[in-house]
Structure 1
Amino acid sequence: MILLIVIAGYAAACLLLFAAQRSFIYFPPQTPSVLAPRTSTLAVPGAQVKVSERPRQGNKAVIYLGGNAEDVSASLPLLDSAFPDHALYLMHYRGYAGSSGKPTEKALVSDALALFDQVRGGHSDIVVIGRSLGTGVAVQVAALRPVSRLVLVTPFDSLGALAARQFPFFPVRWLLQDKYESWRHAPRVTAPTLLIVAGQDEIIPVRSSTQLFSRFASGVATINIIDGAGHNGISESPAYIPALQWAK
């Protein structure tokens, strides 16, 4: 009887984890902290997705895909400094500040592809930058579209591997709906790629980033480990903007 109670309790915990899993992945900010020079709305099936923009004439553009709790508008000043000659497009995920709908891996990747296709109408040289969760979106975009250069900031090989570290007593790899298995998509990326890794990342182990690095075809990717930087503080490192400017 005790064993049956334990099994039933464990099964109930698994069911709860399955039902609530996206609340552990996505933490949408509701208010942008920086007023963008211009905003636009990307009409996609089932949602209206906000895009913060810093316009520039010419063929160069940057598409930025942020982290799971990131207000991407806060990255505008930094990206403006790193890419003064590029038009900037920062996508607010579904359910995040200014965007409707609910975030899922399938939806975010589909939206990012739609944004790329729209941006490509005015710019032929497009850099895609993903940070943290956004690296899982960015690598899929680069595998499916003619990205000029790809930058992955604090990237991981798969969300399932990270979740297994957080919930070691649960079969999270089976329970996960949004897997973000970047290692599956990396071999199809042909654009020059830079992985920017925080040397003291407390959320995504350096090993996860280096495992992803090993999945790219020979000569496609390089890796830059910023010593002393943590996961959330990497953008405050003096080495961060120079690292991003590799993509110019």
Structure 2
Amino acid sequence: MSYAAKTLLIFLALSALLYVALCALLYAKQRALIYFPEMTRVAVIQTDISVDRNDVVLRGWVVNPGQPGAILYFGGNGESVEMNRGDFAVHFPEFSTYLLAYRGYGASDGQPNQDALFADALAIYDHVRQRHPEGPIAVIGRSLGSGVASYLASQRPVDRLVLVTPFDSLANIGQTHYPLFPVRWLVRDRYESFRYLPQHSGPLMVIRAPNDAVIPARHTDRLIAGLPRKPEIVAFPQADHNNLSNDPRYWRSLRAFVQPATVGVN
């Protein structure tokens, strides 16, 4: 074998080892690449509601307490959900809005992962249902929260469901952003909304930004295409993934869709 051929084989072998090592690193550190709770942390004393999950305590805020209807809001990755308190207070005075931080976020204990967040969402819903035994419960999930909300709506009755910048699955999103790596095989927290969302039979609205660089349009399209019924769709072509809610039409659209859930409630 020539020197050049041996050199090429060594180069290919080292490249393969490096690639495998990078895949192993991605697998081991994937949750640090998925979840970004650092900038959301607040002191426990700043919150006003908690849900005891035995292993952890989830903490957050309730807006307009004591109203007949309830809204559960599941925020985006890295979102400080308490920043929405003023908008929910103004736009949904007839609803009590629950803004509980994911485990590991805000003042909530623990570390985030898909199974835990799914179980927490069910516990939050059950807690809120006890507080609102007769009233409607609407659920709004944004970005990462759309995956949590889709799962919740497959397991509990949700009167109105809103998904903001939703996706088909986190594994597919990751594959789009990291095409050189077999992300679909590596990722554990998959958030497969395409599996869960068709099980929701109630009214559904999808709010999207067609030029979203974080969640490319095709991933929202695939989610919608797999539904048995076409949802109400509101698009904000001039917005991006992060500034969508700055448009006044965002809150008007939410209210127009969610508010009818209170009809007939005393």
Provide the TM-score with structure 2 as the length reference.
0.88
Higher share of residues assigned helix: 2
**Cα distance in 2, alignment partners of residues 45 and 191 from structure 1:** 31
- Counterpart in the other structure of 2:114: 105
**Cα distance in 1, alignment partners of residues 213 and 182 from structure 2:** 23
Residue by residue, what CA displacement relative to the aligned partner does 1:33-68 show, whole Å, maximum 9, x if unpaired? 9x97x6122111421111211143242000000011
SS of the counterpart of 1:211?
helix
Query: Which of 198, 214, 231 is the aligned partner of 1:203?
Result: 214
Alpha carbons 2:64, 2:93 under 8 Å: kept: no
Larger of the two Rg values belongs to structure: 2
SS of the counterpart of 1:62?
strand
SS of the counterpart of 1:108?
helix
**Cα distance in 2, alignment partners of residues 45 and 102 from structure 1:** 14
1:20 equivalent in alignment to 2:29: yes
- How many residues are matched? 245
State the shift of 1:242 in Å: 1.0
Provide the TM-score with structure 1 as the length reference.
0.94
- Counterpart in the other structure of 1:137: 148
- Counterpart in the other structure of 1:167: 178
- Counterpart in the other structure of 2:243: 233
SS of the counterpart of 2:131?
coil
**Cα distance in 2, alignment partners of residues 70 and 150 from structure 1:** 20
SS of the counterpart of 2:29?
helix
SS of the counterpart of 1:96?
coil
1:247 equivalent in alignment to 2:247: no
State the shift of 1:32 in Å: 4.3
Alpha carbons 1:164, 1:173 under 8 Å: kept: yes
**Cα distance in 2, alignment partners of residues 109 and 82 from structure 1:** 27
Residue 218 of structure 1 aligns with an amino acid whose one-letter code is R
SS of the counterpart of 1:41?
strand
Alpha carbons 1:14, 1:170 under 8 Å: kept: yes
Larger displacement relative to structure 2 (141-150 or 55-64) = 55-64
Structure 2 CA distance for partners of 1:145 and 1:75, relative to 1, 3 Å:
same
Query: Which of 208, 220, 228 is the aligned partner of 1:217?
Result: 228
Query: Which of 33, 40, 50 is the aligned partner of 2:49?
Result: 40
* 1:141-156 alignment, distance < 5 Å: 141-156=152-167
- Counterpart in the other structure of 1:75: 84
Unpaired runs of 5+ in structure 1?
none
1:117 equivalent in alignment to 2:126: yes
Query: Which of 50, 59, 66 is the aligned partner of 2:75?
Result: 66
Residue by residue, what CA displacement relative to the aligned partner does 1:188-239 show, whole Å, maximum 9, x if unpaired? 11121100001321211122112211222225x2211122111100000121
**Cα distance in 1, alignment partners of residues 48 and 65 from structure 2:** 14
Residue by residue, what CA displacement relative to the aligned partner does 1:160-195 show, whole Å, maximum 9, x if unpaired? 111011111100001001001100111111121100
- Counterpart in the other structure of 1:194: 205
